[in-house]
Structure 1
Amino acid sequence: MNVAVAHKGSRPRILFVGMQSSPHVARWIEMIADRGWDLHLFPVNAVAPSDSLCGVTLHRPQLAGPRPEDRLERPPPSFARARAPGLRVEPFPVTLSDVGGIEALRAGRVPLGGSGRTAPLMQGPSSLEALIQELRPDVVHSLEFQHAGYLVLQAKLRAREPFPLWIATNWGSDIFHFGHDLAHRAEITRLLAAADFYSCECHRDILLARDFGYAGPVLPVLPNTGGFDLDHVAALSSGVPPSARRCIMVKGYQHFAGRAMTTLDALVSLGNQLRDYEIILYSVGHEPLERAQQLIADGTLNIRIVGSASHDEMLRSFASSRLYVGTSVSDAISTSVLEAMAMGAFPIQTNTSCCEEWFDDGVGGFLTTPHDVGLIRQRILTALEDDGLVDEAARVNAETVRKRLDRAKLAPRVAAFYEPVLRAARKRSGCEPPVLLKI
């Protein structure tokens, strides 16, 4: 039985705090946008929202001073113009006292604890607290730790009234990577002590949260980016078996976690075997971009560099690829792994993610390590030479996707995800318990 939560005389009100430009945020919210709930989003900066964000009211903090010189400059035009279907953007008036006075406003940013993370003052904890006092949501749900979660923590520490129940959702590297930094470790510990509910997309991260002292309830483990519309995926599929494809998808991140340069080293060592292949390099960092341009100029590899692309365009690229390679020192499930599995590309991903929770090494894909160029090279070579391996992996992964990533099946599970939180919120407020309605 699919269920939704309904309150007598009111709808559940959820305030999300997250990166409004992130398609991951948009896809999560989309899965409950048709439930009739009252959904709101506090942005972590003034960047334009994702084109796919819908079913939610986005609150844009705006200074409401009595004098023209006290008013904030106009928001970036891209933010003001952005209007996805089903998205409401509402200015939220913030007073000088809310942000600590004109001098604080001129300073521009506010620290989020002792980790070194900061937030724009207009999207800082004082503005968030003011919005919470006005909206009085049943639940505050932060989507990611270092920007959204730290922000909610500071708002809760400043709160002058009882704070709503708080779900803290862990994204990719929030604990697995940042937990090794002493300053972040202290902030993560404080966050988990203050949160009422915890959620994540890896069973690995439940154990890490417990190690950090979290003792509260853990919500069901679900992919943070939502699932796939499998009919749409089928429509984007090339229909070509992986063994007949002649493209390789490569994630181009080179930053605190990404190690695209290691992947490129492995590919260069396979130059002769890759003469008939096109390397599709996407999400490209500065250093990998320069390296790729040099390799193109030298004729070493046939590389196509992808700049901005729609999600459908990326899925089509996966559907034309024999394999996908992602190398990083930290990640959660990795959305790219799920996209590769959905489109039949053989995933080769570092074991610093939790992809082993989605496929068996050597069956649905390969696990590697982030610094072993030789191992990555060997895994790529095997996937290039073994047609049976990649075709069978596509079959196995398609079944996993059908069982675990079908959006039609995930959406009711996401709705049920909130039920214990909403029950607790109503119980705490002394209201009647929610009624479960069939959908």
Structure 2
Amino acid sequence: MSIAPARLSRLCSQRSGKVKSVSEGRRPRILFVAMHHSVHTARWIEALVDVGFDLHLYPVDPAPPHAYIRGLTFHVPTPASPVVPAPRVSTGRRAARFLRHALKDPSDAIRLLREKLARRVATPPAPESPPRAGDPVRIRPVPFDGDDPQARVRLGRPDESEETITALHGPSMLAKVIADVQPDLIHSLEFQHNAYLVLAARDLMLADNPSRSFPRWLATNWGSDIYYFGRDEAHARQIRRVCEAIDLYSCECRRDLALGRSFGYRGPELPVLANSGGIDVDAAQRLRGEAPPSRRKLIMVKGYDHFAGRAMVSLAVLERFADRLKDYEIVMFSVGARPRARALELKAAGVLDIRVIDLATHGEILECFGRARAYLAVSISDGISTSVLEAMLMGAFPIQTNTSCCEEWFVQGETGFAVSPDDFEEICARFERALTDDTLVDDAAPRNLEIIRSRLDQSIMTPAIGDFYRQALGVPFRDGSERR
């Protein structure tokens, strides 16, 4: 149920007693604290560019913003003097060390390369006027006046999580930006880096001046932020501090809304929307192969192997059915070090025809989904999982562990399979069914496409996200009404 903006504003004010209303005479101002190089961040913000808000973005590391991000002010922490370089290492030794790291963790090696390239990009001068819809990003340097910009700053109290960030992008710098921008709403996208960072900046600002008014704060849960990390004692204390401090909370699963309440969130209920933002369904369909799913000879596999990902289990499933997959290409993406090594071993031995994608555009990934019969992902925690939505969009039958919110999107046993990550035989049985039942995969494809079109298409999501922020800010909806 939507809550009238006026009532929502009252509820937020009652929670903190210090929340200022949207300032008169200027556009509502939103400061995002987010993973600025994420396509999910970019697609979410894209829906707001033409709404009329004054948008600002604070980065959590030195990498440049995603290419899709536009029409906002990007606040770039900048050292007052050049950073003192570390002792020089010979080019050969440096290359060998990087190669060893790349073999061990390809994804992190790519991240390091991006950060290195970002540091070499000169910061262009900031124009005088704020950006308009469709304008490129306005870069605003924020001077850093600390001692060591590369020093690590903890985002929690001593008895809480070990999450850290460099001083250059840490809570003191964010507090400076908040004081300067004076946003009507701070929106942190993701908890463990961004919400913790806002909380630390808030602590600094209120410790400095307890009577100070802190802006209205909306925290969005991404993926495993609460479902997984909430089981860790140190993170649970930090998550509780966030949930008790925020004025608004949003998530993409009904499951996670209940978890937010259990951690102390007492604010109003906002609409449950996919964190990946909207997608141009018609454009995506042009990347889809003409063959029906039952005639496709490709299997998509998520390659995560970290705190939650269990790609090694997925590979074991594929290996069991190797004889039936002789004519199939297996495509693994977002691949961790262990599954990457194992996948290459299986390919070299002629067991499976596996292609590992280390780096690809979003369009290239969608094109692969559009040629896939099925999609397999095993993890012990996730949100909705954008990859599941992309599989549904492109006609690949989804097999996803039930530790995600996939069952809130597809019909179990008909348009997808939700399986237990702890039941290997069940995963094998479901995969075998998807591999052999042509009617199942062909019938599921149009139903899944209609679900995605009705809930995720840009024509649906863009106005929904605009109204989401009007509701959060307590300003009138597009038609001037107060929705109930």
With structure 2 as the length reference, what TM-score do the two structures score?
Answer: 0.82
Kept after mapping to 2: 8 A contact 1:18/1:41: yes
Tell me which of 95, 102, 116 is aligned to 2:162.
116
Kept after mapping to 1: 8 A contact 2:415/2:447: yes
Equivalent residue, structure 2, for 1:223:
274
Equivalent residue, structure 2, for 1:430:
none
Deviations along 1:210-241, one digit per CA (max 9) or x if unpaired, are: 11121112211000011210221121121221
- Partners of 1:143 and 1:81 in 2: how far apart? 27
Kept after mapping to 1: 8 A contact 2:149/2:168: no
- Partners of 1:199 and 1:307 in 2: how far apart? 31
Tell me which of 36, 42, 50 is aligned to 2:52.
36
Alignment partner of 1:272 is 2:318: no
Q: 1:267 to 1:194 in 2, by over 3 A?
A: same
Secondary structure in 1 aligned to 2:286? helix
Equivalent residue, structure 2, for 1:169:
220
Kept after mapping to 1: 8 A contact 2:217/2:248: yes
Secondary structure in 1 aligned to 2:415? coil
Alignment partner of 1:89 is 2:139: yes
Deviation at 1:180, TM superposition (A): 0.5
Equivalent residue, structure 2, for 1:186:
237
- Partners of 2:135 and 2:343 in 1: how far apart? 38
- Partners of 2:455 and 2:290 in 1: how far apart? 22
Pairing 1:346-385 to 2, within 5 Å after superposition: 346-385=397-436
Tell me how many residue pairs correspond in the alignment.
414
Deviations along 1:42-64, one digit per CA (max 9) or x if unpaired, are: 01111232222222221111133
Kept after mapping to 1: 8 A contact 2:302/2:334: yes
Equivalent residue, structure 2, for 1:45:
61
Q: 1:125 to 1:387 in 2, by over 3 A?
A: same
Alignment partner of 1:260 is 2:303: no
Deviation at 1:196, TM superposition (A): 0.4
Tell me which of 451, 455, 469 is aligned to 1:418.
469
Deviations along 1:356-410, one digit per CA (max 9) or x if unpaired, are: 0000111111111113222111111101110000011101101101111111111
Equivalent residue, structure 2, for 1:427:
none
Secondary structure in 2 aligned to 1:236? coil
Which amino acid is 2:61 matched to? Answer: N
Tell me which of 54, 57, 78 is aligned to 2:118.
78
Alignment partner of 1:306 is 2:357: yes
Which amino acid is 2:428 matched to? Answer: R
Secondary structure in 2 aligned to 1:381? helix
Equivalent residue, structure 2, for 1:203:
254
Alignment partner of 1:145 is 2:191: yes
Which amino acid is 1:78 matched to? Answer: A
Deviation at 1:302, TM superposition (A): 0.7
Kept after mapping to 2: 8 A contact 1:7/1:435: no
Deviations along 1:262-300, one digit per CA (max 9) or x if unpaired, are: 000011000111111110011110000110011011100
Q: 1:107 to 1:47 in 2, by over 3 A?
A: closer
- Partners of 1:107 and 1:271 in 2: how far apart? 48
Kept after mapping to 2: 8 A contact 1:263/1:373: no
Alignment partner of 1:283 is 2:334: yes
Kept after mapping to 2: 8 A contact 1:247/1:278: yes
Q: 1:297 to 1:81 in 2, by over 3 A?
A: farther
Structure 1 unaligned regions, length at least 5: 97-101, 424-433
Equivalent residue, structure 1, for 2:43:
27
Kept after mapping to 2: 8 A contact 1:49/1:82: no
With structure 1 as the length reference, what TM-score do the two structures score?
Answer: 0.90
Structure 2 unaligned regions, length at least 5: 7-21, 86-114, 125-133
- Partners of 2:176 and 2:155 in 1: how far apart? 17
- Partners of 2:235 and 2:180 in 1: how far apart? 31
Tell me which of 44, 50, 58 is aligned to 2:74.
58
- Partners of 2:286 and 2:238 in 1: how far apart? 45
- Partners of 2:162 and 2:137 in 1: how far apart? 33
Which amino acid is 1:373 matched to? Answer: F
Which amino acid is 2:190 matched to? Answer: E
Secondary structure in 2 aligned to 1:34? coil
Secondary structure in 1 aligned to 2:269? coil
